[in-house]
Amino acid sequence: MTNWNKIWKDKKYPMWINKGDIANYWDKNAAKRFHRLSKNRSSSEKQVEELNLKRTDVVLDIGCGTGRFTIPIAKRVKTVYGIDVSKEMLKFAKRESEKEGLKNISLINANFETFDINKIEKVDVSISYNSLGVYDIKKVLTKINNLTKRDVFIFTFAEKGEWLDKRLAEIVYGEHIKDIPPSAEIIYNLLKEMGIEPDFEVRHNVWKSEYNSMEDAVKKITEFYKLGDGLKKKVENFVKENSVYNGEKYVLSQQRDIAKIHWRVK
Ligand SMILES: C[S@@+](CC[C@H](N)C(=O)[O-])C[C@H]1O[C@@H](n2cnc3c(N)ncnc32)[C@H](O)[C@@H]1O
């Protein structure tokens, strides 16, 4: 029988480790991420509408980051807990919630994996959007199921490259990426083992990032992933094929499939 939890621990988690400690990684990227996401508020609003929230609900936003979902959720429910391991990401969430005058948000700086769930009440709905930087995913899924009374929504990567376009991921991580199941597949299979029958839906997203020039894009990607000269040419080709000049910047488009995994807690 496939040991999905081991696959997550052995194969997926090293990708996170490559980026260093999670809190540190997100602390460094908070500002960039906030500015990029604040350009596209309407898409978060639309996704929140799909959660079928009720005015009386208490909601937990796991890995809430800059509050992209926490804030529109807070406008529709009684209380939201936003938990995140990165202090810097939470600073943006706090600033935005104050700007909006929202008094029903509790922000918690902690790693969800080790967070003592008895510190908060049981919630009606939990959501996690690309935010499960955890080691023991099976334990974490059980934890989410136990602390939620009604609905759980997990949005996660449904393609082999995870946050990278799968063609770029093959350049960065090598051919063996083909043998690594995406997060969504691992989570889906673990839930089935736990006796949960989740709804599973994949959405095709395009992730756009802006660079001053194509050389700038290649330099940033090769430096970030510490790629040797041998791979530079491949990255150059990828960037050439997938970027367009918008009159100001070069916009690199990457395919990113995101699964929406939902279940009703029994
Ligand atoms: C890709 S961002 C997504 C943020 C937010 N959910 C959104 O969609 O805008 C991932 C966030 O999850 C947080 N995160 C990752 N692993 C975590 C963990 N184990 N516990 C708490 N937060 C975590 C990171 O600090 C980061 O803010």
Q: Is residue 197 part of a domain?
A: yes
Q: What is the pLDDT of residues 42-95, one digit of tens each?
A: 788 899 999 999 999 999 999 999 999 999 999 999 999 999 999 999 999 999
Residue 220: inside a domain: no
Ligand 1, atom 17, lies closest to the CA of 133
205 Cβ inside 6 Å of ligand 1: no
pLDDT number for residue 15: 59
Ligand 1, residue 134: give the atom nearest the CA.
Answer: 19
Confidence check: pLDDT of 264 > 60: yes
For residue 79, being part of any structural domain is answered with: yes
Number of folded domains in the chain? Answer: 1
For residue 71, which amino acid is it?
I
Q: What is the signed CA dihedral for 239, 244, 249, 252, rounded to 10 degrees?
A: -40
Q: pLDDT at position 12, please?
A: 66
pLDDT of res. 175: 80
159-203 confidence digits (pLDDT tens): 988 888 989 998 988 887 888 899 999 999 999 999 999 999 999
Asked whether residue 195 is domain-assigned, the answer is yes
Segment 132-138 shows an average pLDDT of 93
CATH value at residue 64: 3.40.50.150
- Report whether residue 67 contacts ligand 1, using a CB cutoff of 6 Å: no
Judge whether residue 266 has pLDDT over 80: yes
Distance 217 CA to ligand 1 centre (A): 24
162 lines ligand 1 (CB under 6 A): no
- Would you say the CB of residue 70 lies under 6 angstroms from ligand 1? no
pLDDT at position 29: 82
Start-end of H helices in the chain: 4-7, 13-18, 22-37, 41-49, 70-74, 87-99, 137-147, 166-173, 183-193, 214-224, 229-242
Instruction: Write out the residue range of the structural domain in which residue 126 sits.
Output: 4-206+256-264
Specify if 230 maps to a domain: no
Is 214 part of a structural domain of the chain? no
| pTM for the full predicted model | 0.92
Tokens of 79: 């209380």
Give 62 Cα–ligand 1 centroid separation in angstroms: 7
CA of residue 22 to ligand 1 center, whole Å = 9
The pLDDT assigned to 13 comes to 65
Q: Is residue 246 part of a domain?
A: no
Contact 173, 15 (CB under 8 A): yes
